[in-house]
């Protein structure tokens, strides 16, 4: 996960972050032509008034990003304004346009999925849904990550009910406690952390910090690697070793 790319909530004109293409996952997205930018109605109405300060400028923008590797086009949009920034070049403060992305389609993939394993489609869908709302609603994003770990537990064969004949389901906390900590060391702790952030998101108070969501993504990416480890190289290496042993014995 390239955390740095998702830490900042805004970008300045001419400084599009090096976002990765959501389709080929390798190409870098670059701006296709210029952004379409428009002041909002209040700004247009008040901009020439004496009391109006440049920092009150409020805008919307939309644009398209292209991948030079696979040719994918991603549309994005959001809000913007201007801010004063110190310019080392001119040794003075100057006004700089800034833009806050709030939507991407197709959604940027903040973390990768294990490539060597076939992971459950419903879990992948829940993680993708979290990518879609990351830019616009962090509470909802946290909530979708919580759903993803419920589905991850399903794929780890952690039951939802102690007894199939009862209606009452185990809580997410109880299910996490049932993870085999010998087979999956630290995964309990990792999923518990995502669950807690997800719970905060459920209250929909707009209080889940972006940093915490990024930590959840980093933790989830690692947990997926632990639950879906790459295939062991041991059989292949053992075969290679045996060939050398056989070769040596024929020389003797």
Applying CB under 5 A, the residues found at the interface with Zn ion are 21, 23-24, 27, 67, 69-70, 72
Give 29 or 216: the residue with its C-beta nearer to Zn ion.
29
Give 108 or 158: the residue with its C-beta nearer to Zn ion.
108
Give 39 or 72: the residue with its C-beta nearer to Zn ion.
72
Angle, in degrees to the nearest 10, between helices 121-133 and 138-155: 170
Closest distance of CB 70 from Zn ion, Å: 3
Q: Which long-range contacts (CB under 8 A, 24 or more apart) does 8-16 make?
A: 9/100, 9/210, 10/80, 10/98, 10/99, 10/100, 10/101, 11/98, 11/99, 11/101, 12/85, 12/96, 12/97, 12/98, 12/99, 13/96, 13/97, 13/98, 13/99, 16/65
Give 108 or 141: the residue with its C-beta nearer to Zn ion.
108
Give 27 or 80: the residue with its C-beta nearer to Zn ion.
27
Closest distance of CB 13 from Zn ion, Å: 24
CA end-to-end span of the chain? 52
Closest distance of CB 21 from Zn ion, Å: 3
Closest C-alpha among 109, 105, 149 to residue 126: 149
Closest distance of CB 19 from Zn ion, Å: 11
Closest distance of CB 24 from Zn ion, Å: 3
């Amino acid at each position: 996960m390239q955390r740095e790319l998702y830490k900042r909530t805004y970008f300045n004109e001419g400084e599009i972050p090096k976002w990765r293409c959501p389709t080929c996952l390798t190409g870098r997205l670059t701006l296709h032509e210029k952004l379409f930018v428009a002041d909002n109605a209040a700004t247009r109405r008040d901009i020439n008034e004496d009391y109006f300060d440049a920092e009150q400028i409020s805008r919307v923008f939309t644009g398209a990003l292209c991948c030079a590797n696979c040719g994918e086009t991603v549309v994005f949009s959001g809000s913007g304004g201007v801010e004063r920034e110190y310019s080392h070049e001119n040794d003075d403060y100057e006004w700089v346009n800034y833009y806050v992305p709030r939507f991407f389609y197709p959604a940027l993939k903040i973390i990768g999925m294990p490539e060597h394993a076939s992971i459950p489609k419903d879990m992948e869908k829940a993680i993708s849904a979290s990518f879609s709302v990351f830019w616009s609603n962090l509470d909802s994003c946290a909530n979708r990550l919580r759903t993803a770990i419920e589905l991850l537990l399903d794929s780890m064969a952690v039951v939802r009910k102690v007894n199939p004949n009862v209606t009452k389901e185990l809580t997410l906390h109880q299910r996490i406690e049932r993870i085999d900590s010998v087979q999956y060391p630290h995964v309990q702790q990792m999923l518990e952390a995502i669950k807690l952030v997800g719970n905060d998101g459920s209250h929909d108070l707009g209080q889940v910090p972006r940093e915490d969501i990024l930590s959840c993504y980093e933790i989830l990416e690692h947990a997926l690697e632990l639950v879906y480890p790459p295939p062991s190289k041991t059989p292949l290496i053992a075969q290679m070793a045996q060939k050398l042993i056989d070769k040596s014995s024929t020389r003797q």
